[in-house]
Amino acid sequence: MSGDTGKRRAQPVGPTGDRAVRSPMTDEARPTETRGRMIRGWTARFYDAMSWVCSLGGEAKTNREIIERAGIKPSERVLDVGCGTGAQTLPAAEVAGPSNVAGVDPSPDMLERARGKAAKKGLEIDFRSAAIEKLPFDDQQFNVVLSSFMLHHLPDDVMRAGFAEIHRVLKHGGRLLAVDFTSGRSLIGRVMGLLGHAHRLEGLNGIKSMLAEAGFSTVEELPSKQGHVFFLRAEKRG
């Protein structure tokens, strides 16, 4: 945590297949290069509180639905892409086991908060600074990949590259659950749409097409209990 001027301790290899060993803290403090929108500074500091307000207090309910829809089983390997402060990473770790779960985000500020929340719960989760378009894992490492409220931060070309990377790191028969805001179905959705944080209903077809282009064999929209949220489930051919 402090300045490392002496011998640097060897970085542990993560529980999942690594393309590269975790970066030292001096590198982790720097934001990862990405063309997606990054949350930093005071926005990261108050992100959880803002999420609670924007969801009118329904954030916990939405998070529970995400974990239910993902169908995570004990000992499955899970990757949370754009994990933010760990709102879905921590519940996933409680189901699959913390040694089987990894979370990536390009923002060091968001990762700092995620690590702090995990430490308070005694969960040793492999959090890394990385962007969706360049995931630091070998091929076919995960049973489940989560993407929650992150896609609206991405330009289309980055989203396409990200879906290809997710497909690469998923095991055969693995699945992606993508969750984000959608406008037009509720007051919250319309507000998020005006703020540029929601996808238009017709835009979902474009996301489905991108997933199919990335190689996913099955792409389906799941019914949602939340009117301002969509759930897309995609499977990698077994």
Bridge partners of 129? 105
Q: What is the Cα 48 distance to its own chain's centre?
A: 15
Q: What is the DSSP letter of 1?
A: -
pTM: 0.77
Residue 225 in 3-state DSSP?
coil
pLDDT digits (tens, 9 = 90+) for 118-151: 999 999 999 999 999 999 999 999 999 999 988 8
* Strand boundaries in 84-194, DSSP class E: 101-105, 126-129, 142-148, 170-181
pLDDT digits (tens, 9 = 90+) for 155-203: 889 999 999 999 999 999 999 999 987 765 545 544 444 444 444 444 6
Residues 6+ apart with CB under 8 A from 169: 79, 135, 137, 138, 139, 140, 141, 142, 145
Closest C-alpha among 104, 189, 191 to residue 148: 104
pLDDT digits (tens, 9 = 90+) for 67-106: 999 999 999 999 999 999 999 999 999 999 999 999 999 9
Place of tokens 């076919």: 140
Q: What are the structural domains of the chain?
A: 25-236 (3.40.50.150)
pLDDT digits (tens, 9 = 90+) for 45-61: 655 656 655 555 556 77
Place of tokens 């474009």: 206
